[in-house]
Structure 1
Amino acid sequence: MKFSDASTPVVVLRGVESASHGALGILRSLGRLGIPVHLVACDSQTPGFFSRYCKGRLVCNVESGNAGKSVEVLLELGRKIGRKSILIPTDDNAVLFVADHAAALREQFLFPQMCPELIREVSSKKGMYYLAKEHGVPTPEAAFPTSRQDVLDFISRAKFPVMLKAIYGSQLMKISGQKMFIVRTEAELLEKYDALEDPAHPNLMIQEYIPGGDDTVWMFDGYFNDRSECLLAFTGKKIRQYPVSQGSTSLGICLESEAVRETTTEFMKKIGYKGILDIGYRYDARDGLYKVLDINPRIGSSFRLFVAENGMDVARALYLDLTGRQVIPGTAREGRKWVVEDQDLVSCLRYHQQGKLTFKQWLDSFRGVEEAGYYASDDLAPCFTRVMALFGQAFKKLNPLGA
């Protein structure tokens, strides 16, 4: 794939909570077309900074709390670049930051017209739940306790196991290192609620548990224009997750699901969504429905799993649409696989320990892998940087006093 005009720069805004391979994927996807791509990140050692496709680097945490200063830092970067650039945030907080300060940021940047209220609603699991119910989209049943008594009331009618999740996942991740828990008993639910909830600012939800393995989790990856028309749509499913059974994709496959595609495009049209979308579903074999689990109003870290035969992906679709050109969707590369090397290695070991993955199954699972999160033959430095960082982390764990 080639673009007739690749002169409009891009600024990737890597949020604190986003995976480093997501930003790296954007750098490579657009940089390989000759597009000048700049990266803003809070970590000076993020692998993307070492990519041959990274035109400019800026260490800045736009989520640090001083929004006015962050806006000015980005505007100054835009002025230095010398022309309006496309701004691509990579996590929910960064998307909200852009939506909240859109009027000021538009002086130097191009991005989809996002409604801050809608972004907040869909990025909150509580808001997403009620939005799905309102529009007739299947979703697991859920309760949103605001006190311990609410949890006790729920227990009186509950069927275990259940899922304990955060309405805003990043907050639970900071406290526990996990986004969710499978809870199997009443006592365990009360114990975790007492340990993890802040009564002054309730953030936990209890969700129906849908039985099934990782391969029942489906994904939609797409792009919607300023009329909420879907210009590009892909579907696929997870093969493995990190952390095991409750995390992000460590190995995924691009597969067609008409039900997931149609449900998502109709849903987003109804709510007036614009921009790149990453959304997850779980197939419920009990009733044959695909039930929405979460909506990410942004580019997903696994977006490079989804590539058309003509080379189109959601980052490229965004670029074409915002520069006034036609998006030619192309046919999805059915069976294409994508892997995050370090995360999948850890997951494979866990699955093997649980008796869910044999050596032969492990080898067979890599057939069809076309791309990795960090390794690329034309861009080796980010992978090397990631490996060295992992060695450093391992050394600190083994030698806590010498670190």
Structure 2
Amino acid sequence: MRWGDRGGLVASSAVPFAVDRSVPGLIVKIGDYPLHHGGVGAIRSLGRLGVPMYAVTEDRWTPAAQSRYLNRAFVWPTTGRERPERLVEGLLRAGRAIGRPTVLLPTDEEAAVLIGEHADVLAGEGRFLFPRTEPGLPRRLASKQGLYELCVEHGVPTPEAAFPGSYADVKAFAVSARFPVVAKNRDAFERRRRPAVGGTTRIAGPRELLALARDWGSRPGVVLQEYLPRESAEDWIVHAYFDAESTPLAMFTGVKVRSWPPHAGMTACAYAVGNKELAGMTARFIQRLGFSGIVDLDWRFDRRDGRYKLLDFNPRMGAQFRLFENEARLDVVRAQHLDLTGRPVPEAEQLADRRFVVENIDLPALLAYRRSGYTTPHAPARASGTELAWAARDDMRPFFTMLARCVGPGATHLYRMWRAKNR
């Protein structure tokens, strides 16, 4: 069937399901990070099905704002430090402008937490559609301390961690800890304020730890975590969508091959690889939590003890979600839209050995990984197909916009990130 002129259920010969294109999608971003390929991927994923797409953007010249599949960009610069009431009102203004029930698609923790904690207001008058979960759960999952406590409570393996409340606590930890350790910001929100550490930081010994801790203030906002040696570990990712009963309607697993900054940042290259054990662990954990919605989880398989350990839980879509599709051409964003609009979500096996590459960061990541000699024997030798984060034959403007914004300050920023990790 071709697209109808007035909305309603439509189907395409490319997908074996019907989508309700009378219900738009809205990409919700909080903070200043214009080069976000996940938002572009979501706009394309639903836009190609004829779903009207809208997005919150920093300005009119972000890659997302330039997509041919975007109906309108709501230019609304935010920092993440605004009062929640102001952010909620901004979303409601966007909803009034759209003028019909709209599926919300948060791309960061701040947005996911805001939606979860103000669900009643945002869902009022049928303005927005989104998965409903316990209001405080997204905040706990996005917090390193909250996630650690939930893992311990539910028996899910995770690296050992300490959460110092003072410099004295750091000193006590330094006496008994087994080094090296990893320092991370305790809460995702810290990156919008004054982060204690610039991302994941490996600390070799007590002297280095105490020197760093002097700059963390009287109440360090850090987690000191067990270091899992990369030569003895494998990085795995899980993306899934869970319905109102915490039943997985779409579940995908894959391996992270490269990240930027190396071994500690966002995914630069990954492969879709089936892993029933990991999928089962994820499903059981989320069913115990009672969570509903899209999730992006980072696991690390520790070859020393043969266990998968949960590192991060993002209660929203991941930037690399377009790595994953199943044989029904379903990804997690499409699954959520179908479910929230009352349409059946088809079951199918995930497409194996697909590759995802983020063009602007994978080249420096590849050079850094080759220099270090790190290999990923758990990744497929060949890809069955490659999904690029930015370039798409039917939507090239986001790619050229990304290139333009990477020149000058953008390129300098990438270089500084690399230098910071290789001092």
Superposition TM-score, scaled by structure 2 size: 0.87
Q: Partner of 1:269 in structure 2? A: 287
Equivalences for 1:88-127 in 2 at 5 Å? 88-107=105-124, 108-127=127-146
Residues 177, 53 of structure 1: CA spacing in aligned structure 2 closer, same or farther, 3 A cutoff? farther
- 1:345-364 CA deviation, whole Å, 9 max, x = no partner? 1211222333447xxx9xx9
Distance in 1 between residues matched to 2:135 and 2:231, nearest whole Å? 35
Distance in 2 between residues matched to 1:298 and 1:390, nearest whole Å? 26
Distance in 2 between residues matched to 1:44 and 1:175, nearest whole Å? 28
3-state SS of paired residue (2:20): coil
Distance in 1 between residues matched to 2:265 and 2:23, nearest whole Å? 35
Asked whether the equivalents of residues 214 and 240 of structure 1 are also in contact (C-alpha less than 8 Å), the reply is no
Following superposition, the deviation at residue 15 of structure 1 comes to: 2.8
- 1:145-203 CA deviation, whole Å, 9 max, x = no partner? 112221222122221111111111452585477311111111111112222x1324x31
Equivalences for 1:184-195 in 2 at 5 Å? 184-195=204-215
Q: Partner of 2:18 in structure 1? A: 3
Asked whether the equivalents of residues 169 and 179 of structure 1 are also in contact (C-alpha less than 8 Å), the reply is no
Q: Quick one: which amino acid aligns to residue 7 of structure 1?
A: S
Q: Tell me whether 1:156 sits opposite 2:175 in the alignment.
A: yes
Distance in 1 between residues matched to 2:294 and 2:114, nearest whole Å? 16
3-state SS of paired residue (1:3): strand
Distance in 2 between residues matched to 1:164 and 1:75, nearest whole Å? 38
Q: Partner of 1:401 in structure 2? A: none
Distance in 2 between residues matched to 1:49 and 1:390, nearest whole Å? 16
Distance in 1 between residues matched to 2:203 and 2:285, nearest whole Å? 30
Q: Partner of 2:354 in structure 1? A: 336
- 1:243-288 CA deviation, whole Å, 9 max, x = no partner? 1011111000011112211111000101111100111110011110
3-state SS of paired residue (1:152): helix
The farther-off stretch of 387-396 and 237-246 is: 387-396
Q: Partner of 1:128 in structure 2? A: 147
Asked whether the equivalents of residues 221 and 233 of structure 1 are also in contact (C-alpha less than 8 Å), the reply is yes
Q: Partner of 1:78 in structure 2? A: 95
Residues 214, 380 of structure 1: CA spacing in aligned structure 2 closer, same or farther, 3 A cutoff? farther
Asked whether the equivalents of residues 359 and 388 of structure 2 are also in contact (C-alpha less than 8 Å), the reply is yes
Distance in 1 between residues matched to 2:130 and 2:199, nearest whole Å? 29
Q: Partner of 2:417 in structure 1? A: none
Distance in 2 between residues matched to 1:190 and 1:393, nearest whole Å? 33
Q: Tell me whether 1:13 sits opposite 2:28 in the alignment.
A: yes
Aligned counterpart for 1:350 among listed residues 353, 359, 368: 368
Aligned-residue CA RMSD (Å): 2.2
Following superposition, the deviation at residue 144 of structure 1 comes to: 0.9
- 1:5-61 CA deviation, whole Å, 9 max, x = no partner? 322111111232666101000000000000000011234332100000011111114
Following superposition, the deviation at residue 4 of structure 1 comes to: 4.6
Distance in 1 between residues matched to 2:57 and 2:116, nearest whole Å? 18
Residues 217, 396 of structure 1: CA spacing in aligned structure 2 closer, same or farther, 3 A cutoff? closer
The farther-off stretch of 103-112 and 366-375 is: 366-375
Q: Tell me whether 1:372 sits opposite 2:388 in the alignment.
A: yes
Q: Quick one: which amino acid aligns to residue 390 of structure 2?
A: Y
The farther-off stretch of 300-309 and 15-24 is: 15-24
Residues 296, 115 of structure 1: CA spacing in aligned structure 2 closer, same or farther, 3 A cutoff? same
Aligned length: 390
Q: Quick one: which amino acid aligns to residue 184 of structure 1?
A: A
3-state SS of paired residue (1:237): strand
Q: Partner of 1:240 in structure 2? A: 258
Aligned counterpart for 1:283 among listed residues 301, 320, 323: 301
Distance in 1 between residues matched to 2:19 and 2:299, nearest whole Å? 37
Q: Quick one: which amino acid aligns to residue 171 of structure 2?
A: L
Q: Which blocks of at least 5 consecutive residues in structure 2 are unaligned?
A: 1-14, 414-423
Distance in 1 between residues matched to 2:47 and 2:114, nearest whole Å? 25
Residues 226, 347 of structure 1: CA spacing in aligned structure 2 closer, same or farther, 3 A cutoff? same
Asked whether the equivalents of residues 122 and 296 of structure 1 are also in contact (C-alpha less than 8 Å), the reply is yes
Q: Tell me whether 1:222 sits opposite 2:234 in the alignment.
A: no
Asked whether the equivalents of residues 163 and 183 of structure 1 are also in contact (C-alpha less than 8 Å), the reply is yes
Distance in 1 between residues matched to 2:130 and 2:297, nearest whole Å? 20
Asked whether the equivalents of residues 241 and 332 of structure 2 are also in contact (C-alpha less than 8 Å), the reply is yes
Asked whether the equivalents of residues 215 and 238 of structure 1 are also in contact (C-alpha less than 8 Å), the reply is no
Asked whether the equivalents of residues 282 and 293 of structure 1 are also in contact (C-alpha less than 8 Å), the reply is yes
Q: Partner of 1:318 in structure 2? A: 336
Residues 222, 396 of structure 1: CA spacing in aligned structure 2 closer, same or farther, 3 A cutoff? closer
Following superposition, the deviation at residue 228 of structure 1 comes to: 0.9
3-state SS of paired residue (1:156): helix
3-state SS of paired residue (1:260): helix
Query: Could you tell me the percent identity over the aligned residues?
Result: 37
Residues 301, 267 of structure 1: CA spacing in aligned structure 2 closer, same or farther, 3 A cutoff? same
Q: Quick one: which amino acid aligns to residue 164 of structure 1?
A: A
Superposition TM-score, scaled by structure 1 size: 0.91
Residues 23, 189 of structure 1: CA spacing in aligned structure 2 closer, same or farther, 3 A cutoff? same
